[in-house]
Amino acid sequence: MSVGTVDGDSEPTVEVSKAAADQAIALMDREGMDTDVGGLRLFVQQGGCAGLSYGMRFDNEPEPDDTVTVHHSLRVFVDPASINYIGGSRLEYEDGLQAAGFHVENPNIVSECGCGESFRT
Protein backbone atom coordinates (compact mmCIF):
# COMPACT_ATOMS: atom_id res chain seq x y z
CA MET A 1 0.00 0.00 0.00
CA SER A 2 1.32 3.42 -0.92
CA VAL A 3 1.39 6.25 1.57
CA GLY A 4 -1.88 8.14 1.33
CA THR A 5 -3.53 5.92 -1.29
CA VAL A 6 -5.43 2.64 -1.44
CA ASP A 7 -3.42 -0.12 -3.14
CA GLY A 8 -1.51 2.38 -5.28
CA ASP A 9 -4.71 4.07 -6.57
CA SER A 10 -4.91 7.82 -6.73
CA GLU A 11 -7.64 7.83 -4.06
CA PRO A 12 -6.35 9.58 -0.92
CA THR A 13 -6.60 7.88 2.45
CA VAL A 14 -5.81 8.59 6.07
CA GLU A 15 -2.61 7.20 7.57
CA VAL A 16 -2.57 5.98 11.18
CA SER A 17 0.41 5.95 13.53
CA LYS A 18 1.24 2.77 15.42
CA ALA A 19 0.40 4.47 18.72
CA ALA A 20 -3.05 5.50 17.44
CA ALA A 21 -3.73 2.03 16.02
CA ASP A 22 -2.65 0.32 19.24
CA GLN A 23 -4.84 2.60 21.35
CA ALA A 24 -7.89 2.14 19.10
CA ILE A 25 -7.47 -1.66 19.08
CA ALA A 26 -7.18 -1.67 22.89
CA LEU A 27 -10.41 0.33 23.15
CA MET A 28 -12.17 -1.98 20.69
CA ASP A 29 -11.00 -5.02 22.68
CA ARG A 30 -12.39 -3.45 25.87
CA GLU A 31 -15.75 -3.05 24.14
CA GLY A 32 -15.67 -6.66 22.93
CA MET A 33 -15.55 -5.72 19.24
CA ASP A 34 -14.26 -8.07 16.56
CA THR A 35 -11.21 -6.24 15.17
CA ASP A 36 -11.06 -8.62 12.18
CA VAL A 37 -14.35 -7.21 10.83
CA GLY A 38 -14.99 -3.98 12.72
CA GLY A 39 -12.92 -0.87 12.68
CA LEU A 40 -12.48 2.78 13.45
CA ARG A 41 -14.69 5.15 11.46
CA LEU A 42 -13.22 8.60 10.82
CA PHE A 43 -15.56 11.27 9.52
CA VAL A 44 -16.06 14.99 9.10
CA GLN A 45 -19.23 16.70 10.26
CA GLN A 46 -20.62 20.23 10.26
CA GLY A 47 -19.87 22.01 13.51
CA GLY A 48 -17.51 24.06 15.56
CA CYS A 49 -16.63 27.70 15.18
CA ALA A 50 -14.56 27.07 12.01
CA GLY A 51 -17.31 25.09 10.24
CA LEU A 52 -16.15 21.44 10.23
CA SER A 53 -15.09 19.02 12.95
CA TYR A 54 -13.70 15.50 13.12
CA GLY A 55 -15.64 12.56 14.43
CA MET A 56 -14.61 9.03 15.36
CA ARG A 57 -16.53 5.95 16.40
CA PHE A 58 -16.24 2.20 16.16
CA ASP A 59 -18.31 0.37 13.55
CA ASN A 60 -18.96 -3.35 13.29
CA GLU A 61 -18.42 -3.31 9.51
CA PRO A 62 -17.79 -0.82 6.69
CA GLU A 63 -20.47 0.66 4.46
CA PRO A 64 -20.35 -0.46 0.79
CA ASP A 65 -18.92 2.87 -0.46
CA ASP A 66 -16.36 3.40 2.33
CA THR A 67 -12.63 3.64 1.74
CA VAL A 68 -11.23 0.82 3.91
CA THR A 69 -7.56 0.64 4.83
CA VAL A 70 -5.60 -1.35 7.40
CA HIS A 71 -2.85 0.24 9.50
CA HIS A 72 -0.95 -1.78 12.12
CA SER A 73 -3.88 -4.29 12.20
CA LEU A 74 -6.49 -1.53 12.64
CA ARG A 75 -9.22 -1.34 10.00
CA VAL A 76 -10.14 2.28 9.18
CA PHE A 77 -13.39 3.26 7.46
CA VAL A 78 -13.90 6.66 5.78
CA ASP A 79 -17.04 7.64 3.87
CA PRO A 80 -16.76 9.28 0.41
CA ALA A 81 -17.74 12.78 1.57
CA SER A 82 -15.27 12.80 4.46
CA ILE A 83 -12.32 11.53 2.42
CA ASN A 84 -12.51 14.77 0.40
CA TYR A 85 -11.70 16.75 3.58
CA ILE A 86 -9.28 14.41 5.36
CA GLY A 87 -7.56 12.50 2.56
CA GLY A 88 -3.80 12.67 3.08
CA SER A 89 -4.18 13.22 6.84
CA ARG A 90 -2.51 11.24 9.62
CA LEU A 91 -4.21 10.06 12.82
CA GLU A 92 -1.91 10.29 15.84
CA TYR A 93 -2.30 9.40 19.49
CA GLU A 94 -0.53 11.48 22.12
CA ASP A 95 -0.25 10.65 25.81
CA GLY A 96 1.48 13.46 27.66
CA LEU A 97 1.36 15.60 30.76
CA GLN A 98 -0.83 18.28 29.18
CA ALA A 99 -3.24 16.07 27.28
CA ALA A 100 -3.94 12.61 25.97
CA GLY A 101 -5.98 11.61 22.97
CA PHE A 102 -6.31 11.23 19.25
CA HIS A 103 -5.29 14.06 16.94
CA VAL A 104 -5.69 14.43 13.16
CA GLU A 105 -2.81 16.08 11.32
CA ASN A 106 -4.58 17.39 8.23
CA PRO A 107 -2.59 19.03 5.39
CA ASN A 108 -5.85 20.29 3.81
CA ILE A 109 -6.63 22.79 6.58
CA VAL A 110 -6.52 26.49 5.72
CA SER A 111 -7.67 27.63 9.18
CA GLU A 112 -8.53 26.19 12.60
CA CYS A 113 -10.40 27.56 15.57
CA GLY A 114 -8.39 28.51 18.63
CA CYS A 115 -9.19 25.32 20.52
CA GLY A 116 -8.22 23.11 17.57
CA GLU A 117 -11.58 21.27 17.58
CA SER A 118 -12.83 22.55 14.22
CA PHE A 119 -11.33 23.53 10.89
CA ARG A 120 -11.90 24.87 7.38
CA THR A 121 -10.39 23.53 4.14
Task: Quote the percentage of the chain above a pLDDT of 70.
Answer: 79
Give whole-number Cα distances, 11 to 4, 58, 74, 92, in Å. 8, 23, 19, 21
Please check whether residue 25 is in contact with residue 101, taking contact to mean a CB–CB distance below 8 angstroms.
no
Tell me how far apart the alpha carbons of residues 106 and 24 are, in angstroms, rounded to a whole number: 19
Tens of pLDDT, residue by residue over 90-107, are 999 998 877 788 988 888
Q: What confidence tens digit (pLDDT) does each residue in 41-76 have?
A: 999 888 766 678 889 999 999 999 999 999 999 999
- Residues whose CB falls within 8 Å of the CB of residue 59, separated by 6 or more in sequence, listed in order: 38, 39, 40, 41, 77
The distance from CA 36 to its chain's CA centroid, rounded to whole angstroms, is 18
Domains, the chain, with CATH or none: 15-120 (2.60.300.12)
Cα(66)–Cα(68) distance, integer angstroms: 6
Average pLDDT over residues 70-90: 93
Using pLDDT thresholds of 50, 70 and 90, give the confidence band for residue 34. very high
Question: Would you state the pLDDT for residue 29?
Answer: 96
